[in-house]
Amino acid sequence: MEYDCGFNTKLLHGKTSKGFPNREILPPISQVTAFRYDSMEELERVFLHKSMGYAYSRIGNPTITAFEQRIQELEGGAGAVCCSSGMSAITAALLSICESGDEIIAGNCLYGGTIGLFHDLEKWGIHIVSVKDLTEETVKPLINAHTKAIFGELISNPSLKVMNVPSISRLAHEAGIPLIVDSTTATPFIARPLELGADIVIHSTSKYLNGGGNSIGGVIVDGGTFRWNFEKHTALREFKKFGKLALSVRLRTDTWENLGGCMAPMNAFLSYIGTDTLGLRMQRICENADRLAHALDQMKGIQVSYLTLPSHPCYEEAKDILDGYGGGILSFRAGSKERAFRIINSLKYACIASNIGDVRTLVIHPASTLYIQASKEEMQAAGVYEDTVRVSVGIESADDLIADFTEAINNSREGKEDENYSFR
């Protein structure tokens, strides 16, 4: 049966929500290392990829497959590969496309871990060309014969810049290079980058897809529509016969398999059941974040950043590309690191933790944690300052969150007037 239905209905009744071996309503947990066969001939065919089957959980597991197929369906992709973390997913995707001497154009407002990975790629001979804003005007002059991919975050964390995926994808395709989008902070509930023109989508499943803060993971979704030029993308030349699915096949049978960054079956199961409520959670999270941001924006002495505030530089892009949603992250500047700490330490309902996308509201001082290895220039490009507080809004009562943050901010003033705080 084909389904033409809403997001939540598709999650629970879509093609990938059924067909489990014993009619289970959830995929069984195959918490095993290896799989038994009746003959060596049969196992040999599986290893040669001539027969369907599982041999070893590092290279395939039915529980992980169920989660891969669910995310593939939600994103509208042609193939998906789950990894041990979001960072593992980014690494596997880029190393499947690029070789030493190649270049990647990337926005510089990136997650701190991605910045660290890019420093490592530079050591391996893959050059990262950073650009302040991923726009046609800034990116086009940087494209050359060595450029093999464009990479960026759909909603950057925590600067909340919104990538104009349709515009950048057109430019990328004119140049014969794929657009890779990290959509962790958006999720398929807010936007589906493949429908907007991207070629590859990456998620840290540890965040909103899982939602419960109970397992680490990542996923790469290949749109299966990019026309690879195998003279240009020589890293995929051995997989030329697979055409548009060359990346998916290389990931599955080569790069991802050899790197060993597989997802654990239990983590796949926990993330699968977490996605059952993705639509409900994201709706509530976005509503809460919008209400909290607008309430805090009325307070003096802080500077709030959230995509549904008309003052945000990407306000119009969010209305267009994100269908009016602002996502689950907001940030504000407190005027000083010391005041930021006072605010964070006095909150009652927000947990001090380094994750995002949990059902609980989480708060952190990014400059002291996530960007502690980054340079001052890299931090500022990512929208991180010494007085920045990042909030990952949860599903609590919005009234309680507003009261909690309002009280913490008011109590942090230590007798100073609001106008004394500087946000330069």
pTM (predicted TM-score)? 0.94
pLDDT band at 123 (very low <50, low <70, confident <90, very high): very high
Rounded distance, CA 287 to CA 404, Å?
17
Distance, CA of 81 to chain centre: 14
Mean pLDDT of 205-211: 97
How confident is the prediction for the chain on average, in pLDDT? 94
Q: Phi/psi zone of residue 417: left (φ > 0), alpha (ψ -120 to 50 degrees), beta?
A: beta
Q: Do the Cβ atoms of 349 and 396 come closer than 8 Å?
A: yes
The torsion angle over the Cα atoms of residues 64, 68, 74 and 79, rounded to 10 degrees, is -170
pLDDT band at 379 (very low <50, low <70, confident <90, very high): confident
SS3 100: coil
The residues that bridge with 45 in the sheet, in sequence order, are none
Rounded distance, CA 326 to CA 267, Å?
28
Does residue 383 surpass a pLDDT of 90?
no
Does residue 424 surpass a pLDDT of 80?
no
Give the length of the chain.
424
pLDDT band at 1 (very low <50, low <70, confident <90, very high): very low
Does residue 77 surpass a pLDDT of 50?
yes
Nearest to 176 by CA among 152, 146, 148: 148
